[in-house]
Structure 1
């Protein structure tokens, strides 16, 4: 795993735990303490985490900046590549779902190039980004998840079955041929599963650092998705295996 991928993983894990002991993190990542300390120091230098006695904690800014905002500059070139590929898949008049995540937020920034969309989302940053683009925005009601500025929902809070989604753009934290598509938060996963079940076409938007990773909760199998939109740094040895199970852009 490359250093940038390890540091992203540390942020992802901290996103769910707020505070982690160094030993726990070392065991989870299966790396040496020396390597972990170097990664931690870089994240401290990047002003993303704080060191405390025995562990580390996600840094919160005074203006309430969220973890998703802290992640925006990580792999930004890859996310822009994915966003532009995703925009090419969307047509005027489409009803789309944009998941909560820093990659789908990049997609939202380009939606002003399109007309008359219906945008269904559980991401507050996506809503705000698309607010003045002239589209119809539908927010999934439910519980607000502060760290991601997202809304997680259940059937009794929102009647999903009334939605007719042409194209869903889903995020994840891990992609594995063996274990499928995975993420950390159960509430987010439940929402994604429901959205996938009612969408005509399902896109997974994930940069190449997520490939061959397995995290806490399974969203679905790779074969439950139609298209993987990723960046151009995907491992060529992985590509043939993935492409047997899913179309790749």
Structure 2
């Protein structure tokens, strides 16, 4: 049922406004079944209902403090898996998202580790640890507690990043990874372009979703690390495109 709701949501997202009778024909189910599925999606505020049909609700970005507790078990499991790729002596980039923020407890005992970040919370968490911290220079984005930058403000070419851990608000085959904020997207583009290996750390709710600004196509990502709630159909679609996906089990 949950997987069908995901497919229904994807169909509504693509068409923006859909009649209920269209959904019954598309998914070969009764009107009663469609109404139940629609009611759940309405409760989750993913769609809005009107007489005889539904319309897609475009997602908006929440403040980072609000998002820290959303999908938290999944984010911790993903972050732990990300940290397992980090070796002593590495120079890594940690993005400003709420998933990559959860990597910190799994990194503090690493030897001779350098962390480059645009996340103020990440930098503050590492103060007092033995980890070398470099924070990129630029403009502070208050809602994300992050720093957005460009070549005028920060010389990215001087960085030598072994592994970059990037977050995304949307992930799709067509548009790659996307974000709500242009300046944040530009900073991520810069980091991805100079990093030896790029990991995308994102929970399964971000898949088959595009938001305002494209960051990069999927071909620029080496590995996507996500939780095991990702549907088999989505996994198959992405792996057919040559995308490497690592699924992690969540500790409930």
Runs of 4+ deviating beyond 2 Å = 28-40
- Measure, in 2, the Cα distance between the counterparts of 1:129 and 1:243: 35
1:68 equivalent among 64, 67, 77 = 64
1:139 and 1:238 map into 2 onto residues whose CA distance is: 35
CA distance in 2 between counterparts of 1:97 and 1:30 reads 40
Between the aligned partners of 1:84 and 1:234, the Cα distance in structure 2 is 18
Q: Work out which of the residue numbers 83, 87, 91 in structure 2 matches 1:87.
A: 83
Question: What's the counterpart of residue 212 of structure 1?
Answer: 208
SS in 2 for 1:228: strand
Distance 1:217 1:75 in 2: 23
In structure 2, the partner of 1:165 is 161
Q: Which residue of structure 2 lines up, in the alignment, with residue 137 of structure 1?
A: 133
Seen in structure 2, the aligned counterparts of structure 1 residues 217 and 239 have a Cα distance that, compared at 3 Å, is same
Query: What is the correspondence of 1:1-249 to structure 2 with a 5 Å cutoff?
Result: 38-39=43-44, 67-244=63-240, 245-249=242-246
Q: Which has the greater radius of gyration?
A: 2
- Normalization by structure 2: what TM-score? 0.74
CA 1:151–1:242 in 2, change beyond 3 Å: closer, same or farther? Answer: same
Separation in 1, partners of 2:200, 2:17: 27
Distance apart, 1:218 and its partner CA? 0.4
Aligned length: 204
> Cα offset for 1:133?
2.1
Q: 1:37 to 1:178 in 2, by over 3 A?
A: closer
- Residue 53 of structure 2 corresponds to none
Return closer, same or farther for 1:186/1:237 CA change in 2, 3 Å cut-off.
Answer: same
- Give, in angstroms, the shift of residue 115 of structure 1: 1.7
CA-atom RMSD, angstroms? Answer: 2.7
d(CA) in 1 for partners of 2:126, 2:16: 37
Alpha-carbon distance in 1 for matches of 2:197, 2:70: 28
1:105-149 residue CA offsets vs partner (Å, 9 max, x unmatched): 101232113221110000000101112221110010000000000
Query: 2:29 corresponds to which residue?
Result: none
SS in 1 for 2:235: helix
Tell me the secondary structure at the aligned position of residue 119 of structure 1. strand
For 1:226 and 1:128, how far apart are their aligned partners in 2?
28
Residue 48 (structure 2) aligns with:
none
